[in-house]
C-alpha cells in the first residue's frame, strides 16, 4: 500500500511548486548561504541521527492531549496543550525543512516532502485558529478547528512515514551493509595510488581506501545520508576529510565521524594492515557506549 501511495503522490506535479516554496524558506538555515554550524545543529549531527523525529513528539503529544482534555471538558489544560503544540510545531517545521532541503533531488522525496509540509502547515494553521477562537471564548468553534487540525496532523504523519520507511529519508543508508569483523584481503598495495581514493568490496561491503603517504585510511564508500559514492568526492588531506559529492556531507577519514551534515551518522571505519604486498581491512572495533 505504501508503494502505491508513494507512486500516486509522485504523479502530483503541482507539488513541485510547494517544494520550491519550502526550499526558498529553508535556504537561510539549510542552503548554501547557511552557516554550517546552524545546519549541522538543525539536522542533528550532534545527536547522531536526525533531530526532526525527536522534535515532532512535542506537537503530536500536545495536540493529542488537547483532544483528550477537550473530551473531558478540561478547558485550561486543553488550551495550554494547544499552545504548547503550536510552539512544538514551529520547532518541527524548522528541523523538518533543514532535513528536507537536501532530499529534493529525486522526484518522489521532493513531492512527498512537499505534501508532508503542506499537511503540517495546514495543521499548524488550524491549531493557530483554534487558539485564537478559544481565547475569544468561542470554545465550540475552537474545538472544531482543533479536530480539523488533528486530521491534517495525521495526514502529515502518514506521509512522513512514507518518507522515512518507504523512501529511506533520514535513515542510515549504510545500515544494512555487513561490514566484515575479520580480516579481508581487498587489494594489492601496488594498486593503491597515493592521494587518490579507491573503492573496493570487503565481503560485499563497499569500502573507500585512501593512501596518504605511509598511512592508509579505510572508511565506508557509501554516504550514510543518501548513499552517495564517497570515492567520487573531494579529499582534503590537510584536514583528513572526505566530502560526499551529492550533498557535501563531510566525514573524518580516520574514524568516519561526521564533520558536517546533512549526514548525521558516521561512516563505518576500518582497521587496515598490510601483508605480503596486500591490503587487508576489518571493521574497526569501537568501545561500547554502555
State which residues of the chain have pLDDT below 70.
Answer: 1, 286-290
Q: Nearest-5° angle of CA 58, CA 59, CA 64?
A: 105
pLDDT at 281: 95
* Dist. CA 174–CA 123, nearest whole Å: 34
- Sheet of strand 270-275: strand arrangement: 184-188, 278-283, 270-275
Q: Are 146 and 130 in contact (CB under 8 A)?
A: yes
DSSP state of 189: G
C-alpha cell at 130: 483554534
Looking at the DSSP bridge assignments, the partners of residue 243 are: 234, 250
Q: Nearest-5° angle of CA 185, CA 186, CA 191?
A: 120
* Dist. CA 67–CA 150, nearest whole Å: 8
C-alpha cell at 206: 563497499
C-alpha cell at 237: 588531506
- Within the chain, strands assigned E span 184-188, 198-202, 205-212, 215-220, 234-236, 241-243, 250-252, 258-260, 270-275, 278-283
DSSP 3-state of 269: strand
- Global pTM reads 0.88
DSSP state of 265: S
Question: How many CB atoms are located within 10 Å of the residue 130 CB?
Answer: 31
C-alpha cell at 40: 549541522
* Dist. CA 164–CA 226, nearest whole Å: 12
Q: Are 267 and 243 in contact (CB under 8 A)?
A: no
Beta-carbon-side half-sphere exposure of residue 66 (alpha carbons within 13 Å): 29
Dihedrals φ, ψ of 31, to 5°? -90, -170
pLDDT at 129: 98
pLDDT at 1: 65
Beta-carbon-side half-sphere exposure of residue 182 (alpha carbons within 13 Å): 1
* Dist. CA 253–CA 147, nearest whole Å: 51
pLDDT at 2: 80
Peptide bond just before 286 cis, omega within 30 deg: no
Amino acid at each position: 500500500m505504501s508503494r502505491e501511495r508513494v507512486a500516486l503522490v509522485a504523479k502530483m506535479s503541482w507539488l513541485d511548486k510547494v517544494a520550491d516554496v519550502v526550499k526558498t524558506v529553508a535556504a537561510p538555515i539549510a542552503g548554501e548561504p547557511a552557516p554550517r554550524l546552524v545546519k549541522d545543529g538543525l539536522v542533528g549531527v550532534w545527536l547522531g541521527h536526525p533531530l526532526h523525529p525527536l522534535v515532532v513528539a512535542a506537537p503530536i503529544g500536545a495536540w493529542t492531549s488537547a483532544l483528550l482534555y477537550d473530551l473531558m471538558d478540561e478547558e485550561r489544560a486543553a488550551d495550554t496543550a494547544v499552545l504548547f503544540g503550536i510552539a512544538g510545531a514551529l520547532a518541527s517545521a524548522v528541523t523538518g525543512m533543514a532535513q528536507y532541503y537536501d532530499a529534493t533531488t529525486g522526484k518522489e522525496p521532493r513531492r512527498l516532502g512537499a505534501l508532508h509540509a503542506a499537511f503540517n502547515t495546514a495543521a499548524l494553521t488550524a491549531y493557530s485558529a483554534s487558539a485564537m477562537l478559544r481565547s475569544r471564548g468561542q470554545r465550540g468553534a475552537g474545538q472544531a478547528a482543533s479536530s480539523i487540525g488533528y486530521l491534517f496532523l495525521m495526514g502529515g504523519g502518514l506521509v512522513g512515514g512514507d518518507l522515512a520507511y518507504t523512501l529511506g529519508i533520514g535513515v542510515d543508508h549504510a545500515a544494512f551493509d555487513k561490514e566484515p569483523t575479520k580480516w579481508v584481503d581487498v587489494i594489492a598495495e601496488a594498486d593503491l595510488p597515493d592521494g587518490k581514493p579507491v573503492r573496493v568490496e570487503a565481503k560485499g561491503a563497499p569500502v573507500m581506501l585512501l593512501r596518504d603517504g605511509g598511512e592508509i585510511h579505510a572508511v565506508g564508500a557509501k554516504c550514510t545520508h543518501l548513499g552517495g559514492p564517497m570515492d567520487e568526492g573531494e579529499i582534503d588531506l590537510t584536514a583528513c576529510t572526505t566530502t560526499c559529492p551529492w550533498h557535501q556531507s563531510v566525514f573524518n577519514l580516520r574514524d568516519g565521524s561526521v564533520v558536517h551534515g546533512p549526514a548525521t551518522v558516521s561512516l563505518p571505519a576500518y582497521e587496515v594492515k598490510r601483508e605480503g604486498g596486500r591490503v587487508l581491512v576489518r571493521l574497526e572495533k569501537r568501545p561500547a557506549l554502555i
